[in-house]
Amino acid sequence: MYGQPMKGPIRVRDHKLYRRWSFMRNVCYNTRHSDYDAYGGKGIKIDPAFNEFWDFVNVIERKLGYPADFDYKWKLSRKDQNGDYTIKNLKWDNASEVGRRCAKAHVVTYKGKTKPLRTWAEELNINFYTVLSRFNNGWTPAQILGYKPGPRELNAQRKK
């Protein structure tokens, strides 16, 4: 779909901004959406100028434009995570940056520094899924980040 010329009139749901517009509306207005509590439930609203899809497209294309290498990995994110969806509060971000700021991001505090797990994993060159597994298994921050032995290593030391 991206980078390929469309033949004939474009359907709304095939437009490159449709999924972004639809997500925004769902998380703000659909009380059954799994992320509603983090958006609409917190009082986050959508600019009335974005109510109609083609009006949204017009505003985004005129005032924000698209990143040079635009594809599905680019997300519309809010600069102020507590602010509404308005053109002044929107920017393009890659998916990994959005995930770091997401309310559901797992964060770990170690020696006074609080960072998302993905950031810790990248900085320490540890596989993200390794630290996520440690986090989900209730390890301490020092164990999650590899600074202290985890439960398996401690059990092995006791058996010696």
Which residue in 96, 116, 103, 101 sits closest to 145, CA to CA?
A: 116
Handedness of CA 70, 36, 50, 100 (dihedral sign): negative
* Residue-wise pLDDT tens digits, 107-133: 888 889 888 888 888 889 998 889 888
* Residue-wise pLDDT tens digits, 77-93: 888 888 999 999 999 98
- What are the residues whose beta carbons fall under 8 Å from the beta carbon of 115, sequence distance 6 or more? 107, 108, 123
Dist. CA 1–CA 28, nearest whole Å: 27
Which residue in 53, 55, 65 sits closest to 24, CA to CA?
A: 53
Query: Is the per-residue pLDDT at 5 higher than 70?
Result: no
pLDDT of 147 reads: 79
Does the pTM exceed 0.75? no
Query: What are the start-end ranges of the E strands in 15-122?
Result: 74-78, 90-94, 107-110, 113-116
How large a percentage of the chain has pLDDT more than 90? 32
Residues in the chain: 160
- What are the residues whose beta carbons fall under 8 Å from the beta carbon of 121, sequence distance 6 or more? 127, 128, 130, 131
Q: Do the Cβ atoms of 129 and 96 come closer than 8 Å?
A: no
Q: Do the Cβ atoms of 19 and 71 come closer than 8 Å?
A: no
